[in-house]
Amino acid sequence: MAFFLFLMTSVILFIRPAEINYALFGYPLFQIFVIPCILLSVPRLIDLFAGRGVLRAPAAVCFIAYFFTLVGSNVVNLQFEDAFETFTSDGKAYLYFILLLANVNTERKYLFFLKTVVILMLVAVSVGILDYKHVIKIDRVNVVSTDVGQEGETDSLERMGGTGLFGDPNDMASAIATVIPLSLFFAMRKRAPIYSRAFWLATIVPLIYGFMLTYSRGGMLALLAGLACLMFLRLGRRAVFLLPALPVLLMVVGGRQANISLGSGTGQGRIQLQHGSMVAFVHHPILGIGNTKLVDLLGHVAHNSFVQSLAETGMAGAACFMGAYYCVVRSLWNVWKRHRPLDPDFAALSPTILSVVAIQIVARMSLTLNLNMSTHAFLGIATVYPLVCVTSPPFTETFTGRVALKVLAVSLIAAICLLVYVNVMVKF
């Protein structure tokens, strides 16, 4: 029952029914499902924390610690009202992350949850497409106009967004890119019936079409990185012969998504914002300037989740945020290389989940999604995989002081690389 309630909570968060049907507006749909889900999950939550089960997932330890640095960054900067707002608003996202860890606890539930996420994204994309094409009209679905003209011109381009989590076209593109490998996995399952494989293959068509309507360059880079990662992990050296297909895909798509440049336009504008963010980090290196305060300082977000974390939560927060991705990649790689999942489906799933993480990391290099619920959902999916996967020999991992030192070292190196990169690329 707790798992069902968790799935319904996911429906509320991904689809936002009240934004599609105003008859539901005002009803506390999230609370209706999440509160009984919490109550029924108490035994698992006790095992997760009192029983130190969470230590078996180093990525989860880092990501949960990041929440406390978000609140702490506001407190040390005497931003007490902001600290309370951070605790209450961002706490909901972390509650969802923790419930994911507690309830998606078997291989069967894991596969069912992956299917649910793909279907929910398919619904969100379909609603966005229908609104974009004026088949239906939903006020809360965002269609963003972006200036694409040259100097002296005023051409604009309408870009498809969605409701809730995916209101921004770039956020929508990032989420679509993430679920495309999952659709491919279910379409290629050898043990699945042919009609099931045909269905999952068919889901890719509206996903790709919706992805193209977002005209997101960051989303395109993330998708290309994920597909390249998936090809190398599944095909090994043979993937070299397929790599030329990726730039061909970029040329076929064309338009704004193929026009990727950091030397001018919005690309250079984002580099300048990241430069200002790194200046803020240098002046407040430990706990940053305070969560959500970068917009007050620069007028915009950093358009890079890792730079944003450095500026707002300092090295303490960035180490937790970057460390979560380092730990999850490390865990997934160890399962794939050193352990053999007993279930053939889970053995084939390892490269897919690694490609999902690759997409998430590249997307966060051009988008500010630190506090977006999609980050919690997709990082949670990757974190849970090693926990539920039955392998031979058994996979075990624990967050220790040695792991913490590795996280700190990796995050320091990443911070230095970002600092050098931004200073080399910026133009004034």
Question: Is 32 domain-assigned?
Answer: no
In the prediction, which pLDDT does 260 show? 63
Q: Is 252 within a domain?
A: no
pLDDT tens column, 99-118 = 999 999 899 999 999 999 99
Q: Which residues of the chain have pLDDT under 70?
A: 51, 139-155, 241, 246-265
C-alpha to C-alpha distance for 359 and 209, rounded to whole angstroms: 18
**pLDDT of amino acid 151:** 47
Does residue 52 fall inside a structural domain? yes
287-343 residue pLDDT tens = 999 998 999 888 888 889 999 999 999 999 999 999 999 999 999 998 888 888 888
Neighbouring residues of 208: CB distance < 8 A, sequence distance ≥ 6: 180
Distance CA 384, CA 374 (A): 15
Question: Considering the domain boundaries, does residue 355 fall inside one?
Answer: yes
In a domain, 411, yes or no: yes
Total domain count for the chain? 1
Per-residue H/E/C for 58-122: HHHHHHHHHHHHHHHHHHHCCCHHHHHHHHHHHHHHHHHHHHHHHHCCCHHHHHHHHHHHHHHHH
Q: Which residues pair with 157 in a beta bridge?
A: 146
User: Cα dist. 220→14, 144, 366 in Å?
Assistant: 21, 17, 11
- Would residue 332 count as lying in a domain? yes
pTM higher than 0.85: yes
Give residue 402's domain range: 41-103+271-428
* b/e 235-260 (16+ beta carbons within 10 angstroms → b): eeeebeeeeeeeeeebeebeebbeee
Residue 63 lies in a domain: yes
Tokens 């993330």 — which residue? 222
Q: Is residue 292 part of a domain?
A: yes
The whole-number pLDDT of residue 206 equals: 94
Q: Judge whether 295 and 274 are in contact, CB under 8 Å.
A: no
State the pLDDT at residue 176.
94
User: For position 192, what pLDDT does the model report?
Assistant: 83
DSSP symbols for 176-243: HHHHHHHHHHHHT-TTS-HHHHHHHHHHHHHHHHHHHHHT-HHHHHHHHHHHHHHHHHHHGGGGGGTT
